[in-house]
């Protein structure tokens, strides 16, 4: 009932229904609190999500700390977390699903790519890990700022990498 009242008040004051991201914020804050964050930590997390979305307009928030990004998803670490895990999930961050390319960067951001044939901007920073859990012999491409190939990896494989010099990713050939 409170959410309905808030929408009605917003429409009465502004003449329009608020954006879906705005109406979802209380749900995401509640997810974060249920996952063990304080209200202050939940607010910090929402600021981090908002900052990422403002710099990456194609990104869309889908849970307290998870975003849909071109080609996959990005899970941000919550305040105090060293490694990201989806706060909407009751389990710790899962291993990389079959058919996916997963990356954990030096900030603890978890990227999960599963769409082939497209070049995706990548903003990973620092040293981290990857899990190329795609179909056997599927090749992932990690590109420089000029879109030239920096290195490739053939599934199934995992390892460590420096993500700062990687600017684009092609998860797999189409």
**In a domain? residue 114:** yes
Count the domains in the chain.
Answer: 1
Domain of 167, in residue numbers:
95-174
For residue 69, what is the DSSP state? Answer: E
User: What would the two tokens of residue 129 be?
Assistant: 């890990």
Q: What is the pLDDT of residues 71-100, one digit of tens each?
A: 999 999 988 877 787 887 655 444 789 999
- Residue 162, φ and ψ in degrees, nearest 5: -95, 120
**In a domain? residue 3:** no
pTM of the entire predicted model: 0.59
Q: What is the pLDDT of residues 6-21, one digit of tens each?
A: 333 333 333 333 345 6
**In a domain? residue 166:** yes
Query: Of 4, 54, 52, whose CA–CA distance to 65 is shortest?
Result: 52
């Amino acid at each position: 009932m409170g959410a309905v009242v808030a929408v009605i008040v917003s429409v009465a004051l502004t003449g329009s229904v608020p954006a879906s991201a705005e109406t979802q914020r209380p749900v995401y804050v509640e997810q974060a609190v249920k996952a063990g964050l304080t209200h202050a930590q939940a607010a910090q997390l929402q600021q981090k999500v908002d900052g990422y979305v403002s710099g990456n307009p194609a990104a869309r928030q889908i849970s307290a700390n998870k975003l849909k990004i071109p080609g996959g998803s990005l899970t941000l670490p919550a305040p105090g977390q060293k490694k990201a895990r989806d706060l909407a999930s009751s389990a710790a961050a899962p291993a990389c699903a079959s058919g996916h390319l997963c990356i954990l960067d030096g900030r603890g951001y978890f990227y999960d790519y599963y769409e082939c044939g497209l070049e995706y901007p990548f903003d990973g920073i620092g040293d981290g890990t990857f899990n190329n859990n795609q179909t056997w012999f599927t090749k992932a491409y990690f590109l420089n700022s000029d879109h030239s190939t920096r290195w490739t990896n053939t599934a199934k494989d995992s390892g460590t990498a420096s993500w700062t010099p990687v600017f684009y990713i092609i998860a797999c050939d189409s």
